[in-house]
Amino acid sequence: MPTLEVPHGAVLDYEITGEDGPLVVQLHGLTSSRERDAQLGLDLARALRGHRVLRYDARGHGGSTGDRDPRSYQWNRLAKDLLALLDHIAPGEPVHAIGPSMGSATLLHAAKKHPGRFASLTLVVPPTAWETRAAQSQLYRANAALIEKEGLGVFHANHTAPVPPALSDAPTTTPTVPEDLLPTVLRGAAGTDFPSEKAVSRITTPTLILAWTGDSAHPVSTAKRLKKLLPDARLVIARTPYGIMAWPGLFAEHVTTIDHR
Structural domains in the chain (count): 1
- Element (DSSP H or E) covering residue 186: helix 182-190
- In which domain, by residue range, is 32 found? 3-259
CATH of the domain at 116: 3.40.50.1820
Q: How many whole angstroms separate alpha carbon 242 and alpha carbon 252?
A: 17
For the chain, percent of residues with pLDDT exceeding 90: 85
Q: How many whole angstroms separate alpha carbon 51 and alpha carbon 207?
A: 18
State the average pLDDT over residues 13-42.
Answer: 94
State the average pLDDT over residues 188-204.
Answer: 98
Q: How many whole angstroms separate alpha carbon 212 and alpha carbon 164?
A: 7
Identify the pLDDT of residue 151: 85
pLDDT digits (tens, 9 = 90+) for 36-63: 999 988 899 999 999 999 999 999 999 9
Residue 126 has pLDDT above 80, yes or no: yes
Phi, psi of 256 (to 5 degrees): -70, -35
- Residue among 38, 15, 22, 20 nearest 248 (CA): 38
Total-model pTM: 0.96
- Residue among 31, 49, 48 nearest 40 (CA): 31
